[in-house]
Every structure is written in C-alpha cells, then in structure tokens.
Structure 1
C-alpha cells in the first residue's frame, strides 16, 4: 500500500488541478471545433484534413520538444473526440484486425468502420463512402488509375503498410511531404508486384520523369510529421 505523505498529497492535488485545466481547455476546443464544423457545412468543406492535423503535431512538437510521432500518439484522440462534433467519418476497411487497428491509429476512437470481406470489389459496389483504408493491390492500383480517388495518408501496423484513399485530395503540400506517383513505365500488369519502389517519394522525381516523357499519374500527397 502506498503511504500518503504530505508531499505526495500536495503533488496529487497539483495533478488534479492540471487535469481540471486540461478538461476545461478540451471543452473550449470542442466549442471552437463546433463553430468550425458549422462553417465547413456552409462551404461544403471536408471534415478530415490530414495536412492540418500534421501541422498541429509539428507545432506541438516544436513547442514541447517532444517528437512529433509521440504527440500524434495521444493527440489523435483529442482531435478525434472534437471532430465527432463535425461528423463521425465512415471508412471502408477489410475484415481483419490489422485494418481495424490502422483505422484507430489514423482516426482515433470516433470513426465508423464499414466492413468489407474484399475491398477489391469496392468500386464495383459503389458504396456511398468517401474513405478507404487498405493495403495496395493490383485491383486498387487499377481503380486509382481510372478514378478520382487519391492516397491521402498512410499508417503501418505489424510491418504492414495501409493506405488511406479518399475522394478528397490533400490540398496543402509542405517540404518533406511524400508524393505518390505511378508511371506507366513502372506499372506492368503482367509483372506487377506490391513494392514501395513502384512509387517516387519526391517532387524532384516527378520532374525527372516528365523530362523523360514518361506517362505519369499523381496518386496523392502524404503530409509528413
């Protein structure tokens, strides 16, 4: 049993006061997010803005001297809690634990998974969903080539990389962001393999391919933290 000394009691009292302040600030943040949500509703602006979230993580990391990925690990839940005032996002995922873990990692607790046994048939079924979280496969690449869907974020669970695909592209790009580009030269169905080197990871690579007159398609921009 822990002996409650005067010093320990004082420390706990200070922690309680800080916890109260944190809750008050979160409630204040929720009110502001609600106002933002009303503004977005009037202008038909997307609710989930990953480049904005990445910027928040970077700013808090600079302020606190904590690594941005550590800020992201707990602040995602605060953002998720506040974002539900705007909307609870529906995201299509495969029926497996890795996909569900990846979903929570990106969106936090407040997200609605739409479960598919095989997401490769998603585009055929034409569900009214704006987000898909999935590993990349040949069918998904083909769908991205022939549709107006974009890669907007990624996460990794147990060494498996998942890609968040959306109808809404990221609109703000910053130094260090990853650009996913698919070239006709590197995409050959007869020899297709899921490898990261199918993609280029910088705008400079895009310019080089343009100079070589290679047919390209930008699949999306991923904000870095």
Structure 2
C-alpha cells in the first residue's frame, strides 16, 4: 500500500510537469514566431548556456546537475524543433564520435544528416541543406584536427558553439588472439591516439585509414582478418 500511495504522488507530480512543459512549449512557439519575423537565429548558444546555468542554481537535489542537464537537453531539443525543424550535418555513419557529440549538443528532436567526410559537412551548411554542422576540431592527445582547421580558412562559416566529449577506443575483432590480426581499420586521428598501444600489442598489423571509427566497425564485421 505504501508503494501505491507513493506512486500516486509521483503520477500527480508527472501531470504537473507535463502541464508546465506544455506551457513552456507555447511560450517557445511565440518566441519562434518573433525570431522568424525579425530573421533571428533559432539556435542561440548563449541562451542555452544560461538555461543550464540556471537549472544548476535551482537544483536542490538529489539529482546531480549533469543528470538534470540531460533532461533539459531533450526539452530544449524539442523546443528547437517547435521553432524550426533544424537539420544538423555530422561525420557519419551513425554512432561516430561526431554523431554522439551532435546528440549531446542538440538532442534527439532535431533532424540529422550524415556526411562521408568533413568537407561535405561544410558544403551542406554552406548550401543551406543543413542549419549547423558538427566537426571534430581538437583532441587532448593528437591536438588539432588539421583538415577541419583548413576548411575554416577557406570557408565563411564560423564556430558558434562547442561540445566536449570523452573518447574511449576499443579494438574489435573476430580473432581470439591479437597476433592473428592482420589489419586494423580506423580514422587517422585514432591511430595517432593509440599509436603506442598498437606498436606494442600488434606491431605487424597493417593500419588502414578510413573516414571514421563507426565505418571501421562496419568493415570489421565484414572482414575476417
């Protein structure tokens, strides 16, 4: 009986939460109308940071700020979709680190379009086929991603926001022994990050560069070596 009563209270709170989110959404739609009339940008990174900062201040616990931020990321993602259906270009295929970074920044309510390389991401945004593009620009081991920086030199596109993503690499193979692995597929940046481990554990393996780690995983599934 005690659990039932607690759940009834939770249901009542959920009802209030949904009502408040709906009220928030109606206000968001009004803001979207004003932005369209004034030809203002739908996505405003400064406002996003302000919202996250305020919810951290308002948070009494027990949920950690990061968990609450995850909840609000989806609320804000849905809010962006109400103002305009945003399209985000990223380095595909799905599940790449760039895709994960895009999801962390924009949530799941926007539209995503995968690109085969960094140049294509810039092209999609420049042509207006995508509203924003997410590209890798730097990592703590290998430093700057030179291809991305070179593209910014030749393009009129500007950086409007940033997102940090913790990276962990795994070696996937059908082989039971490391010594039996003949080829390793991955992105050039990854080979740089994992150079010492690869030289120590599978020095004889051929390193084959591909566009992304997700693409490398697809190839690994198809190839026995």
Using structure 1 for the length normalisation, give the TM-score.
0.63
Q: CA deviation at 1:149?
A: 2.0
Q: Kindly report which structure 2 residues correspond to 1:51-62, keeping only aligned pairs within 5 A, or say none.
A: 51-62=46-57
Partner residue in 1 for 2:180: none
* Higher mean C-alpha displacement, 82-91 vs 11-20: 82-91
Unaligned runs of 5+ in 1: 161-193, 196-225
Kindly indicate whether the alpha-carbon contact (under 8 Å) linking 1:58 and 1:68 is maintained by their aligned counterparts in 2.
no
What is the match of residue 140 of structure 1? Answer: 148
Judging by fraction of residues, say which structure has more strand.
1
Alpha-carbon distance in 2 for matches of 1:70, 1:8: 24
Once the two structures are superposed, residues 140-173 of structure 1 have per-residue CA deviations (whole angstroms, 9 ceiling, x without a partner) of 212222433222222344427xxxxxxxxxxxxx
> In the alignment, is the contact (CA less than 8 A) between 2:56 and 2:65 conserved in 1?
yes
Deviation at 1:71, TM superposition (A): 2.7
TM superposition shift of 1:65? 4.1
User: SS at the partner of 1:11?
Assistant: helix
Residues 34, 86 of structure 1: 8 Å contact kept: yes
CA distance in 1, matches of 2:108, 2:120: 27
Deviations 1:75-125 (A, max 9, x none): 100111222111121111111312222221111111111211112244457
Say whether the 8 Å CA contact 2:91–2:121 is kept in structure 1. Answer: no
Q: In structure 2, list runs of 5 or more residues that go unmatched.
A: 138-144, 169-191, 194-225
Match of 1:84 among 73, 81, 97: 81
| Number of aligned residues | 157
Larger Rg, first or second structure (1 or 2): 2
Structure 2 distance, partners of 1:34, 1:59, is 21
Cα deviation for residue 73 of structure 1 reads 1.4
Alpha-carbon distance in 1 for matches of 2:59, 2:121:
42
Once structures 1 and 2 are overlaid, which stretch shifts more, 41-50 or 112-121?
112-121
Q: Would the aligned equivalents of 1:92 and 1:113 in 2 still touch at CA under 8 Å?
A: yes
Partner of 1:34: 29
Q: Distance in 2 between matches of 1:69 and 1:115?
A: 27
The answer to which of 16-25 and 69-78 deviates more is 69-78
Match of 1:73 in 2: 70
Deviation at 1:19, TM superposition (A): 0.1
Please provide the CA RMSD for this pair.
Answer: 2.3
What's the secondary structure of 1:155's corresponding residue? coil
In structure 1, what is the equivalent of residue 100 of structure 2?
101
Distance (whole Å) between structure 1 residues aligned to residue 154 and residue 65 of structure 2 = 35
Contact 1:92 1:133 (C-alpha < 8 Å) held by counterparts: yes
Q: Within 1, Cα distance between the matches of 2:156 and 2:68?
A: 32
Relative to total residues, which structure has the larger helix share, 1 or 2?
2
